[in-house]
Structure 1
Amino acid sequence: MFETQQGYIVSRHSGDENGRLSIHYYVKTDKATVKVTIANPETLFFTNAPVEAIATDVHGVDCEPSQLKTFSHDEVTVVRCQSLLLQQQMVAMVKKLGFTVYEEDVKPEDRYLMERHIRGKVTFIGQPDASGQSFSEARLKVGEYEPAWQVWSLDIETSVTRNELLSIGITSGDRKVVLVVSPEQTDLENVYTFADERKLLMAFIKFVRKHSPDIIIGWNVIGFDLMFLDQRFKTLGIKPALGVQGETWRVREAKESGKVFANIAGRVVLDGITMLKVGGYHFNSYSLNNVSQELLDDSKLLAGGDRWQEIERMHREELANFVAYNLQDCVLVEQIFAKLQLIELQQTRVDLTGIPLSQTGGSVASFENLYLPRLHRKGWVAPAWSDDKFVPSPGGFVMNSVPGLYKNVLVFDFKSLYPSIIRTFYVDPLARVVGQALSQEEGVVPGYRGASFQRQFAILPELVAELAHSREQAKQDGNDILSYAIKIIMNSFYGVLGSSVCRFYHAELASSITMRGHELLGRSKQWMEERGAKVIYGDTDSLFITLSDELSEEQAWEAGKQLCAVVNQCLSEWCGDYADIESHLELEFETLYTRFYMPTIRGQEEGSKKRYAGLSGGELIFKGLEAARSDWTPLAKRFQVELFEHLFFDKDLNHYVSSFVADLLEGRYDSELVYTKQLTRPLSKYTKTQPPHVRAARMIDDQRAQQGLPPEYDRGRKRVQYVYTLSGVSPFLDQQALDSLDYQHYIDKQILPIAEGVFQMLNLEVTDILTPQFNLL
């Protein structure tokens, strides 16, 4: 007897079983997460080969003409196969015959959902087994289910000296559990001790199977925690049966990128660092300690590069403190996810685009999920992968700045510029190939690099319009998560069309977006200057202008609003005259800097780009300057902020700088002299140059080798802390590293570069202030 249920797709899978394709999904329902296997599944691809050229009597393969066409206007045949193996063989045969294949790489489990417009919420009908945990012969359609996720925050502790697992901590709301290797029993609440790793790992498997989390979160949880657990499972010969129905998980590392992936049937693993970046959050350091301090005003119970020694000591001698340390990391991650609504953001991305719940990136997948069904409905198949040479499109508009100190700087931004260009000028893969093929000019909108777009065939403008409308509605409803998720999707379209990893890539597409942006910024600049404004800088979608210094703040705001309205009217009229199109371009005026500093390129008279400081609404704002960068010391950031407070509020700069340097020489800022920089690749890859942070990392690993410890930085992708002492670069491991600091270095490299640009604009000589201090060294 068949049953109908509502649920949410947690994970999706396909593979050949007994010579037949199996497509199955793990779906969270109110009762449990169940396995749903699709009835009569098939996998398919398209080809420009005629049916008679590839006709075969092989059982399980069906070829028939299709109503679809290729971008080359060829008719296509659809080849349906009952197994992945058969599809691989048919694809190879078609290619050998000299024909082209299309969409052969679309996974059958993704195509099944895509063609039915299913994202995450689903209604399924299927035949349950006796346990009610599996459904066969199932069919799926769009549903309305809202899941209540069971989320676990997971963190492990390990022995660096023995490369062994010490404990696994788990928190989920009020539940806090630690499984720990310990020779003794304990009366600590919810702490379970085990004689060795094997027994702990076996208990962990049982615990996961019993309580069945939907989503596991953590900090570098895939790249470290799961990777380490997987290695211990393999070493001890244990099958990691952590899937919903006891399936083995798969944790693998990509050879080229070094990125680690985890696949667990019916469960999803989300990494906190990755989710922060998906959410558009930026931190000087993405360490758990730093992020929790900034977001939660809380921190780990231990921090620093040598904390492993204290962890091992607490494990031996102070089990209660060790457990507290393990659980604190879990709690911090849980609180960060909750505060920033990172799981809600991820689910919203799934609901909008249909990407798998576990896929934190996936701009190309998002685009194809949205575009392919629309393309098929219009009668076309996606283009085949091309070996054509990649031609990068021009970057965003960036004009040379006019350096100086200003009052009343107004900033105008185009709202969602690139999506608006797509919508206004009909930039679209299908519209391009149709416009190229048709000779008539009616309905054609010119692009760049020879492109033209036939507006009646454009898909993307309609898609962008739908998303833009949904975003406005989300804003009205106060749904910030939905609004931001839509923004991410719309802004990704340009990057996808300009990326060689997208099958729809063509140089004319991305160029018709960026070069149109250049034109629009240039025209807007002209219209503003014709009305008395002076444009001092432009960047991608923004223009910075100055009006009279004599205007009050209120007058400047009113002048900015009027100028914005005029330019928007000019844009609308120009679009009509240009190609009889409706403008969806919208210039906004939202920022007024009452004081503003645009620097020169260091050591030159030419104005810099993407670097400035301003005072807006009483708040100091830095862009690209030392105070906004992670590779300068806290000292430099403090100095720059305080320097510009003195500059913008007309305080005595000379006295401030000389006093600051005097305090530096007296050691009052020693704790702020630590550099922190990220290793972008393994240490062994730094062969041509040896930057300071690389030398510091090598020193640390050399010391560890002498102690018989494994290297800490051999894999790279970690931040290194170091200082400059009188003997040169030195790793910052503890306070002893501050005993012989090279103050001259910090004056020359951290203070002088910040001060000299400002003093030069004021016709002052900063070295006159600093020279007496030099003599004290």
Structure 2
Amino acid sequence: MFVEKTGYIVSRHTRDVSGHIEMSLFIKTPEGTVKVLPDRQLSVFFTDAPLDSLPADITGVQCSESALKSFNNEPVVLVQSTSLMLHQQMINLVKRNGFSVFEEDIKAHNRYLMERNIRGAVRFIGVPDSSNQTFRQARVIAGDWQPDWNVWSLDIETSVSTNTLLSIGITSRDQRVAFVVTNQETSSPIIRRFSDEKSLLLAFIRYVKKHSPDIFIGWNLIGFDLQFIDQRCQILGIRPAFGANGENWNIRSSDNQGKYFASIPGRVALDGITLLKVGGYHFESYSLNNVSNEILDDGKLLHGSERWQEIERLHKEDLGAFVAYNLQDCDLVMRIFEKLKLIELQQTRVDLTGIPFEQTGGSVAAFENLYLPRLHSAGWVAPAWSDDDFVASPGGFVMSSIPGLYKNVLVFDFKSLYPSIIRTFHVDPLARIAAQHSASLVQDKLSVTQLVPGFLGASFDRQQAILPSLVGELAQAREEAKKVGNGILSYAIKIIMNSFYGVLGSNVCRFYHAELASSITMRGHELLGRTQVWMEERGARVIYGDTDSLFVTLNSEQEDPQKQGERLRDDINACLSNWCKEYAQLDSHLELEFERVYERFFMPTIRGQEEGSKKRYAGKSNGELVFKGLEAARTDWTPLARQFQRTLFEKVFSDENPICYIQETIAKLRAGDYDDQLVYSKQLSRPLSSYTKNKPPHVRAAAMIDQKRAEQGLPLEYNKGRKRVYYLYQRSGVVPYESPENLIDLDYEHYIEKQIEPIADSILPFFKTNMASLLSQQISLL
């Protein structure tokens, strides 16, 4: 008997069971999470092999003519298989015979959902089993039910010296508990004691099954916590039954990037660091302690490079303090997620694009989910993966700056420049192919007027473009989200629209072609260049331009800069609209915005040269200091250098002579007043062992730490890379910074030469001096 329900897809999976495809959708319903098995599923791909060249007598494989055609404008054959094994065997057969395959890598569950326009919310009917946990012969359509997620913040503590699990902490809306391996007695209701790891893990698996969380959150959750739990389960012979209804999870790593992925039936694992980056947040350090201090004004109970010793001591001697430390980390993560609405952001991305809930990246997947159904409706299949060499498109427009110290600099930028170019100039994979085919078939003037010129020889058929209307729909949805104050939806749409250029310019996307990305960036170059000309015709002077922005000074100081900027913006938008009509009878979706006025502005030269720099400036707008690319905005400069630059420009922008401040800073530095601000920090970009030829200071410092740990028989700290290193300069050279005891015998002259002098010399020419003169004056005074 069929039963109808509403729900939201938590996870999706496909596998072969008894020689047939089993597609399972784990769906959260108002009654709980269930397993839904859609009826009679097949794997699909297309090929340009003639139908009569394909086997017709293989049980479980069906080949048939298709109404679709390839980007070569040739008909394609549809190949359907009842198992993943047959699917792969047919792909291999077609390739061996020298033919192409199309869309062969799209997973069956993704195709099923994509073609039905299903994103997250669903309605389904199916036949339930006796426990109402599994629904078979199901049919699924898009729905509108919104779940109330059961979110668990998870954090583990481990022994560095024995590489074993000490505890698992969990906090949620109604759970606060720590599973701990310990022999200490306790009456605390939140502590669950176990004599060994195996007992702890088995109990935790039972606990997860009983309380059924939907979403695990944490900090480096998959790459550390879940990976470590999985590793211990394997070593101890425990089945990792952490999925819904006791299904196994799968924790895997990428082969070459050191990243980990978690597939958990009926559950989702979301990492806080990754979601912060998706959400556009930037921090000097993404450590939990740093982020929680910035976001919550609260932090970890223990931190620092030697905290592992204290953790192990507390585990042995003070169980209450140990558990408090474990659960504090859980609490911090939960509070960060709630304050920044990170789960809402991820769910909104799912609702907009249909990417799997656990896929925090996925620009290519999001693009294909939106594009492929429209492409199929237009009668085409996606192109085969190309073996052609990758050709990078030109980057964004960046003009050499006119260095100087300015008053009243106006900043203009194009609103969503690259999406607007796609929309205005019909830049689109299908439109490019359709233009090629129409140009080869018909040469009359009428057909040519249907095409929009691109770059690198490309043209785009304005009648067969998909992306312009898709961008238009998203842009309209974003404006509506802004009107009702839905910031998360507005930002999620912005992420999606801005990703289209990157996807088309990336060879990890099947639609990549150099003509596509270049027709976006080179059009951007042209538009910025034309805008500069139009502005200068109106008496403005463009002192810098970058990607979608122009920095402008005006000749007239009598009129209010705000009014001048608004008038110039309106004039340029009219020019853009007129030019698009004249160029190719196009409706302009380009919009120049007047962003701000910098009352004071500084554009430096390239260090040691007279030429103006790029992507580096400082300004003051409405009392706010803004630094771009300068030392004050760079995490690899010392705290002293960064604060020195901020204070320096506060004085310069207030028309104060900074020379006394510079001299005072040098004197205090040499007197030891700034010792605690002289620690460098820099991220290792790859494993320590891969630095063989060039070993910069932070690498040498990290090597010293790992050598010391190896001598103590401890696991290495930097062997996997992607970890921040703290170091400083003593007179003997670079040394790692591990505690305040390292702040001895510091090389002050190094810090003057490398940290203070470059910053000061960028501004001192405006005061008719330089650091060499100031230092020589101090030496003579001494």
Q: Check whether TM > 0.5.
A: yes
- Alignment pair present for 1:666 and 2:671: yes
Residue 536 of structure 1 corresponds to 543
**Deviation at residue 112 of structure 1 after TM alignment:** 0.2
Aligned equivalent of 2:492, options 485, 493, 499: 485
Aligned ranges 1:393-542 → 2 under 5 Å:
393-439=393-439, 440-542=447-549
The residue type equivalent to 2:375 in the other structure is: L
**Deviation at residue 767 of structure 1 after TM alignment:** 2.6
**In structure 2, distance between residues paired with 1:9 and 1:534:** 55
The residue type equivalent to 1:535 in the other structure is: V
**In structure 2, distance between residues paired with 1:326 and 1:295:** 20
Residue 721 of structure 1 corresponds to 726
**In structure 1, distance between residues paired with 2:349 and 2:393:** 27
**Deviation at residue 573 of structure 1 after TM alignment:** 0.2
Residue 218 of structure 1 corresponds to 218
For residues 311 and 579 of structure 1, do their structure 2 counterparts lie closer, same or farther at Cα, with a shift above 3 Å needed?
A: same
The residue type equivalent to 2:569 in the other structure is: C
**In structure 1, distance between residues paired with 2:558 and 2:259:** 54
Structure 1 SS opposite 2:463: helix
Contact 1:407 1:549 in 2 (8 A): no
- Alignment pair present for 1:680 and 2:685: yes
- Alignment pair present for 1:589 and 2:594: yes
- Alignment pair present for 1:150 and 2:150: yes
Aligned equivalent of 1:707, options 682, 706, 712: 712
- Alignment pair present for 1:730 and 2:735: yes
**In structure 1, distance between residues paired with 2:368 and 2:210:** 38
Residue 5 of structure 1 corresponds to 5
**In structure 2, distance between residues paired with 1:162 and 1:198:** 15
Query: TM-score scaled by structure 2?
Result: 0.98
**In structure 1, distance between residues paired with 2:535 and 2:10:** 52
Residue 201 of structure 1 corresponds to 201
**Deviation at residue 764 of structure 1 after TM alignment:** 2.0
**Deviation at residue 114 of structure 1 after TM alignment:** 0.3
**Deviation at residue 196 of structure 1 after TM alignment:** 0.9
**Deviation at residue 122 of structure 1 after TM alignment:** 0.5
Aligned ranges 1:539-558 → 2 under 5 Å:
539-548=546-555, 550-551=557-558, 555-558=560-563
Residue 22 of structure 1 corresponds to 22
The residue type equivalent to 1:538 in the other structure is: G
**In structure 2, distance between residues paired with 1:760 and 1:318:** 60
Residue 345 of structure 2 corresponds to 345
Contact 2:23 2:41 in 1 (8 A): yes
* Cα offsets for 1:437-496 (capped at 9, x unmatched): 112203110000000001000000000000000000000010000000000000000000
Structure 1 SS opposite 2:434: helix
Aligned equivalent of 1:657, options 650, 662, 673: 662
Residue 607 of structure 2 corresponds to 602
* Cα offsets for 1:674-703 (capped at 9, x unmatched): 101111111110001111111111111111
Residue 75 of structure 1 corresponds to 75
Structure 1 SS opposite 2:399: coil
**Deviation at residue 532 of structure 1 after TM alignment:** 0.5
**Deviation at residue 91 of structure 1 after TM alignment:** 1.2
Residue 442 of structure 2 corresponds to none
**Deviation at residue 740 of structure 1 after TM alignment:** 1.3
**In structure 1, distance between residues paired with 2:454 and 2:527:** 13
Residue 644 of structure 2 corresponds to 639
The residue type equivalent to 1:498 in the other structure is: G
Contact 2:184 2:319 in 1 (8 A): no
**In structure 1, distance between residues paired with 2:88 and 2:713:** 50
Aligned equivalent of 2:632, options 603, 627, 632: 627
The residue type equivalent to 2:254 in the other structure is: A
**Deviation at residue 768 of structure 1 after TM alignment:** 2.5
**Deviation at residue 733 of structure 1 after TM alignment:** 0.6
Aligned ranges 1:55-94 → 2 under 5 Å:
55-94=55-94
Residue 269 of structure 1 corresponds to 269
**In structure 1, distance between residues paired with 2:573 and 2:745:** 60
**Deviation at residue 770 of structure 1 after TM alignment:** 2.8
**Deviation at residue 617 of structure 1 after TM alignment:** 0.6
**In structure 1, distance between residues paired with 2:780 and 2:19:** 84
Contact 2:539 2:555 in 1 (8 A): no
**Deviation at residue 668 of structure 1 after TM alignment:** 1.8
Residue 300 of structure 1 corresponds to 300
**In structure 2, distance between residues paired with 1:189 and 1:53:** 70
**In structure 1, distance between residues paired with 2:280 and 2:597:** 24
Q: Which runs of 4+ in 1 moved over 4 A?
A: 772-777
Contact 1:521 1:541 in 2 (8 A): yes
**In structure 1, distance between residues paired with 2:779 and 2:225:** 50
Contact 2:675 2:743 in 1 (8 A): yes
Structure 1 SS opposite 2:252: strand
Residue 619 of structure 2 corresponds to 614
Residue 443 of structure 2 corresponds to none
Residue 384 of structure 2 corresponds to 384
**In structure 2, distance between residues paired with 1:166 and 1:338:** 27
Contact 2:454 2:519 in 1 (8 A): yes
Aligned ranges 1:110-121 → 2 under 5 Å:
110-121=110-121
Residue 358 of structure 1 corresponds to 358
**In structure 2, distance between residues paired with 1:149 and 1:207:** 17
* Cα offsets for 1:11-65 (capped at 9, x unmatched): 0000111011111100001111100001011111111122211141111111111
The residue type equivalent to 1:228 in the other structure is: F
Residue 565 of structure 1 corresponds to 570
**Deviation at residue 769 of structure 1 after TM alignment:** 2.3
Gaps of 5+ in 1: none
**In structure 1, distance between residues paired with 2:748 and 2:779:** 9
**In structure 2, distance between residues paired with 1:774 and 1:380:** 77
Residue 161 of structure 2 corresponds to 161
For residues 549 and 171 of structure 1, do their structure 2 counterparts lie closer, same or farther at Cα, with a shift above 3 Å needed?
A: farther
Moved more, 159-168 or 703-712: 703-712
Aligned equivalent of 2:746, options 741, 744, 748: 741
Contact 1:434 1:457 in 2 (8 A): yes
**Deviation at residue 549 of structure 1 after TM alignment:** 6.9
Taking only aligned residues, the RMSD between alpha carbons, in angstroms, comes to: 1.1
Contact 2:390 2:507 in 1 (8 A): yes
For residues 745 and 385 of structure 1, do their structure 2 counterparts lie closer, same or farther at Cα, with a shift above 3 Å needed?
A: same
Structure 1 SS opposite 2:681: strand
The residue type equivalent to 1:388 in the other structure is: D
Aligned ranges 1:176-255 → 2 under 5 Å:
176-255=176-255
* Cα offsets for 1:550-588 (capped at 9, x unmatched): 346xx1110000000000000000000000010000000
Contact 1:721 1:732 in 2 (8 A): yes
**In structure 2, distance between residues paired with 1:37 and 1:629:** 51
For residues 52 and 760 of structure 1, do their structure 2 counterparts lie closer, same or farther at Cα, with a shift above 3 Å needed?
A: same
Moved more, 467-476 or 51-60: 51-60
Contact 1:67 1:75 in 2 (8 A): yes
Structure 2 SS opposite 1:245: helix
The residue type equivalent to 1:681 in the other structure is: R
Structure 2 SS opposite 1:457: coil
Q: How many residues align?
A: 775
Contact 1:408 1:549 in 2 (8 A): no
The residue type equivalent to 2:290 in the other structure is: N
**In structure 2, distance between residues paired with 1:50 and 1:638:** 70
**In structure 1, distance between residues paired with 2:617 and 2:519:** 29
Contact 1:419 1:490 in 2 (8 A): yes
Moved more, 257-266 or 350-359: 257-266
